[in-house]
Structure 1
Amino acid sequence: MTNPAAAALIARSNRLGADPRNTNYAGGNTSAKGTETDPVTGEDVELMWVKGSGGDLGTLTEAGLAVLRVDRLRALAGVYPGLEREDEMVPAFDYTLHGKGGAAPSIDTAMHGLVDAAHVDHLHPDSGIAIATAADGEELTAKIFGEKVVWVPWRRPGFQLGLDIAAIKEANPSAIGCILGGHGITAWGDTSDETEANSLWIIDTAARYIEANGRPTPFGPALDGFGALPEDERRARAAALAPTIRALVSTDRPQVGSFTDDAVVLDFLASAEHPRLAALGTSCPDHFLRTKVKPMVLDLPPTASVEEQLARLGELHEQYRVDYQAYYDAYATADSPAIRGADPAIVLIPGVGMFSYGTNKQTARVAGEFYINAINVMRGAESLSTYAPISDLEKFRIEYWALEEAKLSRLPKPKPLATRIALVTGAASGIGKAIATRLAAEGACVVIADLDLARAQEAAAEIGGTDVAVGVQANVTDEDQVQAAVDAAVLAFGGLDIVVNNAGLSLSKSLLETTVADWDLQHNVMAKGSFLVSRAAARVLIDQKLGGDVIYISSKNSVFAGPNNIAYSATKADQAHQVRLLAAELGEHGVKVNGINPDGVVRGSGIFAGGWGAKRAAVYGVPEEELGKYYAQRTLLKREVLPENVANAVFVLCSSDLSHTTGLHIPVDAGVAAAFLR
């Protein structure tokens, strides 16, 4: 059973973390002290529960808490070797753990344990960081809060900072917390409720003071010509720029992207001071560890052409890499970790919005959210004073901290399709849904395109949240809807790597029964639809310069002549030859094009459920419910083909194991001799 102090801590943390005004995702930490019986001695022992490394306050559970003995933690002060060796104190925390210790203790553990208070909050609110990054932050702290909040000059998180805050609390008995220069806030109290109230008082008091006393235009006057484009125009421009931007930011390693046209971003980029402020970079360690030392900012107005903007972005990216290398070279020492890549994580496009990047969608999205926090911080600091973040040297010391490197090394090994983005048509059910589910399970971000938007969104929700899968509407016979689906994929995840042409339907009719309308419908959905999807996707794949995969779900009927199937089989043969044609054309861009020829997939198939199954069963003279068994018995392996079998083949084609395979059709038919490829 959870200790009452720990239970109160979790509830407080969840409330604080649920409001972005209080702290960022995965930012800040909270703690509580209380007593439990030591199972070895039977005596009461004082313990501290504190949010562990890498956790998030809003979703914190008991499993995310580190549990330490307060007496042993405070005893570490007696062996503290000083600033030059304070990193040695983090592994020393392991010797203070109680029992199995729970989650791994974070670098801020000392702050919580050394401060003489039952409860401590360390948070990164925009209003608090605005005061912390103001050039006269110390004077503002005294003016805004009086004796209740004390200024602490910038110090890198660690054991010494914990000692500093503990000393400040002892020397200022009327204080309820402090402003950490360049960083954030810390508050304390005797109870959980008191501590939460103290944290919120500091945050709200700072926000109210900025609102009441700040300049109305902290970012300066509007910059002529840099205002936001109308929504449809800016999203169309974003989709046009996104593939090339992804190519640039993936110079060192492939990245997943996120796009936002939040008003906070657009207003910042429309103001005269945005170039100066963006160049200063972010300040709070939680910010720049995700946003990098500074963003890349396009210095052209939105009225410039797409071609002009793309050319300029290429020039700016080249300069960004030179500047980042110079930043690394200026501050790296012999024992610094190797440079982690010189590409930007944030790209700002005036009038359009912000692209943010990471190793997955969540990381990319959170980086963008943190930069919005950083803009809010700049606004607050510039409203009252001048924005003055910590120095590049201090940023480097945190970005390339050995402890940060150790944290990165503990991350799980990426899944096979990590950083890859897939668009699957006809994916709300059947084969398409199985494919989307498998690709997501292997680490890909997935866009589920379907004629039925509600079902597409339901399928996406089943697969995962919007950081994993999104559903969009797309009639593949409609050129505009196809382009809109590709644009949606690009804006949702930054680009496109895998395209699966799966959308289809079938009409089981003889030659004489097949109408022109039947023929046109079959060919429009599968032959024309595949062409439209592949063409729209190919533009993205080529501009990204990352290669990619285009996969057609064709059919054994593309090579097998069966009865009463003229329109369906003919259009499947069309798709099969599109595979060969596109493999020949797109190979120079590193794009592989392959096909899969399934036998009849009965279970879970939308086509079969829509009447096709009954008609095929009638052709073969078997009950519809036995059609799957019938198909299985006519195969060499005597096995029924399921949607998951097709999904397995799609995954293999996209994996690195078949990196040199293109123009291939893989039979997934359990062995139909008449459909053997020749």
Structure 2
Amino acid sequence: MENIVTNFKHVDYLWDEKKADEIGDNQVELFLYRSNILGSDLRITNYGGGNTSCKTIEKDPLTNEDVEVMWVKGSGGDIGTLTRRGIAGLYTNRLRDLKNVYGGLEDEDRMVGLFNHCIYDLDSKAPSIDTPLHGLLPFPHIDHLHPDALIAVAAAENSEQVTKEIWGDTMGWVPWQRPGFDLGLQLEKCLAENPGIRGIVLGSHGLFTWGQTSYECYMNSLEVIEMASEYIEEKIKENGNVFGGQKIASLPKKERFEKASQIMPLLRGLCSSENRMIGHFSDTDVVMEYINSNDLKRLAPMGTSCPDHFLRTKIQPLILELDKDEDLSNSDEILNKLEPAFEAYRQEYVDYYNLCKRDNSPAMRDPNPVIIIYPGVGMFSFAKNKQTARVANEFYINAINVMRGAEAITSYTSLPRQEAFDIEYWLLEEAKLQRMPKELPLSRKVALVTGAGGGIGKAIADKLALQGANVVLTDIVEDRLIEANKTYKRDISTYAICDVTKNKSIADAYKKACVEFGGVDIVVHSAGLAISKPLEETTEKDWDTLQNILVKGQFELVKQSVEIMRKQGLGGDFISIASKNGLVSGPNNVAYGTAKASQQHMVRLLAAELGKDKIRVNTVNPDGVIVGSKIWEGDWAEGRAKAYGISVEELPTHYAKRNLLNEIIYPEDIANGVFSLVGVLDKTTGNIINVDGGMANAFVR
């Protein structure tokens, strides 16, 4: 490898020779390694996009003879995260024998079922539609990728001519065709007519490259992508303006964030007319260059070119006719401006469906936009969960890069609407959607939890996330938040420092929730502290501290959350974590008990007021949550022990013995109480759930 050039400008060279040496001669593991490093560079291929393979010689378990087996990424996988469980192993010869029974383009769907008759490895993932594209080519290692630069070449007018200009006779080219068995035959034919080529450009689609070894294949892919990228870079330099130059200037970064936080709940509500959606926001330099350009309104309606792009982003985005300096404070006024645009977009999608549908087409899907563009501010995407919304955003950024490159080369071309429709409503794609697992109870919802740096708050956030919600963790200690946030997978959570005694701090936390996820559906006020003192020792400061955190904090949290929930028009939930002490008269507890009682009655008052908005307000009353609860780490435990005439060490047993079930109450038990109110009891409001093991003197009736 010493003489091989590995310095690339437009792609990352990530091959680790030491890692490869550790893998040794295991060709399947080398193919997985190659796939993972290719998939880690979004300029090479998006999440879920592309396909990679290798071929090995194995023993046939029935004949004990040597047979060639092709290992290929299975249906629905992602090369960046591909593992052994995500690939399919097929007899190569059997796959090629399917040529004998292939009945032409009308036979494509049946062929996918026949792939299963070619399975060698019984633990295989379901083979994808791209399987024959790899199987009908003879090379041991093959990459099928969707690099921005290559799709720009593939989507450019005169793409075949441009391909020859860049690579001469070393690359083949085939015109656009929907993936399937026949496209595999076209690749085979292209290779036969052009022996010695290093790869093939698929019109409006992507790239095929190959090699005798995994490393040779990897290097071939990088070199081909680099050549296309350099060609485009030179063309952009020659042409000067990108996208016809800038039409408007971007707002400053901070102002873009403010605008996004204000408008996202409105957009989310409009996008959720059929199904509740989660949002994502992007205002990178690439995005802003495109959405602020003179060519935006010419290019955006054309739609994307690569099938992987528009399957994720819909055929085209919605461009908002709002001035970047628009005052968004009057949400009703802005909603009146936005609603006609959304209605027009939905109607255009209905027309597209009706014009292109076939006799056996699946029913029309949600007609709302996935990508929404606000010139001067940024780009929004909305989908069923954060990952899907983020990935849709990334795919559209790839589409932007493709448009830039194609426009620099000659001019950008997109797929005809009928071709796009036939992929979007492909019966095989519909079958894949029908196989998706059932969504969790809190999927598509966003929960903000105060005091979530640990203890009860963190347990509540964990439970809500486990049941499908996105969670916004808030606390006053950032170190706790950082550690707590690390416990979740990507696209599940975010955090915001939030002091509930300060209105601006609360507002900033809600802004973070809106920009990260689109809005908020569930708010749980778990932040708090406890002070246990006799009346004569209770100071004005003690009183004010408890009132400010527990009562005033709750008031402001509700007030600001209701503003967002009303913008969304999707209802919502507010849960107050109060205490048994708000119902029971106990010793040395006047300030804390009064504050908790105030929280409880505020809930009843708010439930009565907010029912018309479908905003439900309920209370969970813990008692004796000692293990894992932050408020028991300091003076509170000593105060309660003193009040009962026992030691601190005896408190857990004391509290367990005094409830009817003789049970120790844990933070997770409080979390279960919260979940019951937001995930099960969806027609309950103004209610109190006691999670205390049964305290007769705290019974509400």
Query: What range describes the TM-score normalised by the shorter chain of this pair?
Result: over 0.9
Aligned to 1:334: 359
Say whether the 8 Å CA contact 1:461–1:469 is kept in structure 2: no
Give 2:250's aligned amino acid.
A
Aligned residues: 674
Tell me the TM-score normalised to structure 1 length: 0.98
Counterpart mapping for 1:204-215 below 5 A: 204-214=226-236, 215=239
AA at the equivalent of 1:492: E
SS of corresponding position for 1:653: helix
Q: C-alpha distance in 1, partners of 2:603/2:480?
A: 28
Of 428, 432, 435, which residue of structure 2 is paired with 1:410?
435
1:589 paired residue among 610, 613, 616: 613
- Structure 1 SS opposite 2:536: coil
Out of 166, 185, 190, the position equivalent to 2:212 is 190
**Equivalent of residue 455 in structure 2, options 426, 430, 448:** 430
Show CA shifts across 1:242-295 (max 9, x none).
111000111111111111111111111111101111111111111111100111
Does the CA contact (< 8 Å) of 1:457 and 1:470 recur in 2? no
Check whether the contact 1:453–1:473 (CA below 8 A) recurs between aligned residues.
Answer: yes
Q: CA deviation at 1:673?
A: 1.2
Partner of 2:508: 484
Deviation at 1:174, TM superposition (A): 2.3
Separation of aligned partners in 1, 2:123 and 2:689 = 51
Aligned to 2:244: 220
1:127 and 2:149 are equivalent in the alignment:
yes
Structure 1 match to 2:669: 645
| 1:553 maps to 2:583 | no
Instruction: State yes or no: 1:611 paired with 2:660.
Output: no
Whole-Å Cα distance in 2 between the matches of residues 103 and 122 of structure 1?
A: 18
Contact 1:457 1:472 survives alignment (8 Å): no
For the residue of structure 1 that corresponds to 2:620, the secondary structure is strand
1:13 aligned onto 2:35: yes
2:100 pairs with 1:75: no
**Deviating more after overlay: 601-610 vs 305-314:** 305-314
Q: Name the counterpart of 2:700.
A: 677
Q: Distance in 2 between matches of 1:310 and 1:271?
A: 25
2-structure distance, mates of 1:304, 1:468: 32
Structure 1 residue 633: deviation in Å? 1.1
Q: Residues 448 and 513 of structure 2 are in contact (CA less than 8 Å); yes or no, is this contact kept in structure 1?
A: yes
Distance 1:169 1:119 in 2: 15
Residue 99 (structure 1) shift: 3.2
Aligned partners of 1:216 and 1:442: how far apart in 2? 51
Per-residue CA deviations over 1:436-479 (Å, capped at 9, x if unaligned) read: 000000011101101111211211211x1241111211001010
Report the Cα distance in structure 2 between the residues aligned to 1:483 and 1:466, rounded to whole angstroms: 24
Mapped to 2, the partners of 1:432 and 1:263 lie a distance apart of 37
Residue matched to 1:377: 402
Instruction: Please list, as runs of the form range in 1=range in 2, the aligned pairs for 1:394-473 lying within 5 A after superposition.
Output: 394-462=419-487, 464-473=488-497
Which aligned pairs between 1:109-258 and structure 2 lie closer than 5 A? Answer: 109-214=131-236, 215-223=239-247, 226-258=248-280
Within 5 Å, give how 1:346-385 maps onto structure 2: 346-385=371-410
Looking at structure 1, the residues matched to 309 and 185 of structure 2 have their Cα atoms a distance apart, in angstroms, of: 24
**What's the CA shift string for 1:174-217, capped at 9, x where partnerless?**
21111111111111222222211221121110100000122222
Q: Could you say which residue in structure 2 is the equivalent of 1:87?
A: 109
Q: CA deviation at 1:221?
A: 2.3
**Contact residue 298 and residue 312 of structure 1 kept, 8 A:** no
Q: What RMSD in Å do the two structures reach over aligned CA positions? A: 1.3
Query: Any conservation in 2 of the 1:68–1:101 contact (CA below 8 Å)?
Result: no
The letter of the residue matching 2:203 is: G
In structure 2, how many angstroms separate the alpha carbons of the residues matched to 1:397 and 1:41? 42
Q: How many Å apart are 1:309 and its aligned residue? A: 4.8
- Shift in Å, 1:540: 0.8
Residue number in structure 1 paired with 2:321: 299
Amino acid at match of 1:365: R
Distance 1:512 1:538 in 2: 39
1:570 pairs, out of 579, 583, 594, with 594
Give SS of 2:665's match: coil
Q: 2:623 aligns with which of 599, 618, 623?
A: 599
Task: Give the deviation of 1:218 after TM superposition.
Answer: 2.6
Q: Which runs of 5+ in 2 are unaligned?
A: 1-22
Partner of 1:507: 531
C-alpha distance in 2, partners of 1:456/1:311? 39
The DSSP-based 3-state class of the residue aligned with 1:321 is: helix
Q: What do the CA deviations read for 1:215-253 (whole angstroms, capped 9, x no partner)?
A: 222301221xx3211111111110100111000111111
- 1:666 — aligned with what? 689
Q: CA deviation at 1:610?
A: 2.3
| Structure 2 residue 649 is the aligned partner of structure 1 residue 625 | yes
Shift of 1:577: 1.0
Decide which moves more: 608-617 or 86-95. 608-617
Helix, strand or coil: the match of 2:70? strand
**Residue pair 1:632, 1:640 contacting (<8 A) in 2 also:** yes
Return the alpha-carbon distance in structure 1 between the equivalents of residues 182 and 693 of structure 2.
Answer: 67
Q: Out of 367, 391, 398, which is 2:416 matched to?
A: 391
Spell out, residue by residue over 1:606-642, the C-alpha distance to the aligned partner (whole angstroms, 9 max, x if none).
0011221122111111121220110111111111211
Q: Match of 2:169, as an amino acid?
A: E
| 3-state DSSP of counterpart to 1:186 | strand
- Separation of aligned partners in 2, 1:310 and 1:586: 21
Amino acid paired to 1:290:
R
**Secondary structure, in 3 states, of the residue corresponding to 1:98?**
coil
Aligned-residue offset at 1:662: 0.4
